[in-house]
Amino acid sequence: MLYPIMPIYLKTIGFSVVLIGILEGVAEATAGLSKGYFGKLSDTSGRRVPFVQIGYAFSTVSKPMMAVFVFPLWIFLARTLDRFGKGIRTGARDAILSDEATPQTKGKVFGFHRSMDTFGAVMGPLLALLYLYYHPGGYQTLFYIAFVPGFFAVLASFFLKEKNQAADKPQNAVSFFSFLHYWKESPAAYKNLVAGLLVFTLFNSSDVFLLLKIKEAGLDDTAVIGVYIFYNLVYALFAFPLGIAADKIGLKTIFVTGLALFATVYLGMAINTHLYFFFGLFFLYGVYAAATEGISKAWISNITDKKDTATAIGTFSGLQSIGSMLASSMTGLIWFQFGATTAFVLTATATLLVFVYFMTVSIPARSYGTQG
């Protein structure tokens, strides 16, 4: 509900494109570091459900906070709390998904999760669009409204049942950066996969910049939200079938296809001047997201030991968020200094190099028979 209006709202309260980039970067870095730590803590404690419940609760509370005050420091605090909640829940939630799958159905399970998650990202902006149609510029009220579905999400999390693994786990203290040790202990396949993913992340800035691009191209607020809804609808419709396809023809095949689409979208964004052509680019962007986000986590869970699932995904997600912070901050600065075209062309070029890397490096689709 809030993501597509976030950059518009921030600009109305005085945030520049550079400050927006820094805000998104700091928020993602907070999520990233906490994903690694709480993923490790979940594996060490053998518990999953409390992390999911607390994580959704924090993100829910942060929504109305964005509307209470418009001071930059307060906005940073609220946005960071939202991402901190995401960091708490991500590793444990993905471990739950992995535990419910087999190595042959990881793409399907993670794809289904992405589909359902993203259908929420379709319904939310539709409600926001409907509200703004009758109340133009009423952004702050939307932050209060967004608390309601968040509240029900927290309630839903109480239906999750713990598999009671805690009795078998040593209760050792976990330091905040202890998850980084996993990189040294992880299998070679994990290092090769995550290295490529992280280089891509360094150039994959927040979607906020895509929304700002189409806003500057002449689309009004309603059209910007409409494009974002369209993107999420495509993402939701393709994530599940592409997950099934990945299980059959290979996780790598689907993933690198997504990278190629991403590079195409950013090149198109750099040179396109026709408003309606943006819908075609966002269609491809939706397919890209469906082909990569769930697939990458399925791939990671297949090449790491079951007892380390939350740590492996949390470590990747943590490092990924640090990369996103750098990418968003860098994109904001490049946009400010040299323009949007330069920023998008640079991203597309770097993505093509990552595509070549994945095509030349051998990474197995699964390594651990203990999974599932």
For residue range 270-323, what is the model confidence (pLDDT) as tens digits? 887 677 788 889 999 999 999 998 899 888 888 888 888 888 888 887 788 778
Q: Which two tokens stand for residue 23?
A: 């805000």
21 has pLDDT over 90: no
Domain 3-158+179-360: CATH superfamily, name plus number: MFS general substrate transporter like domains (1.20.1250.20)
Percentage of residues in the chain with pLDDT exceeding 90? 26
Q: Crossing angle of helices 277-302/251-271, nearest 10°?
A: 150
- Using alpha carbons only, what angle is made at residue 29 by residues 28 and 30, rounded to the nearest 5 degrees? 90
Cα 134 to the center of its chain, rounded Å: 31
> What average pLDDT does the structure give for the chain?
84
Provide the 8-state DSSP code for 304: S
Cα gap 293→114, rounded to integer Å = 8
Cα gap 68→64, rounded to integer Å = 7
Contact yes or no for 168/56 (Cβ under 8 A): no
Q: Is 122 helix (H, G, I), strand (E, B) or coil?
A: helix
Provide the pLDDT for residue 122: 85
Provide the pLDDT for residue 372: 38
Provide the pLDDT for residue 178: 66
Q: Which two tokens stand for residue 30?
A: 């907070």
Q: Where are the domains of the chain?
A: 3-158+179-360
Contact yes or no for 246/253 (Cβ under 8 A): yes
Contact yes or no for 347/204 (Cβ under 8 A): yes
Provide the pLDDT for residue 8: 77
pLDDT in tens, 106-115: 889 988 998 9
354 has pLDDT over 90: yes
Contact yes or no for 331/213 (Cβ under 8 A): no
Contact yes or no for 304/89 (Cβ under 8 A): no
Provide the pLDDT for residue 125: 79
pLDDT in tens, 125-174: 788 878 888 888 888 888 899 899 999 999 999 998 887 555 454 556 66
198 has pLDDT over 80: yes
Report, as an integer, the average pLDDT of 200-216.
84
Which uninterrupted H or E stretch holds 32?
helix 17-45
**What residues have CB less than 8 Å from 369, skipping those under 6 apart?**
103
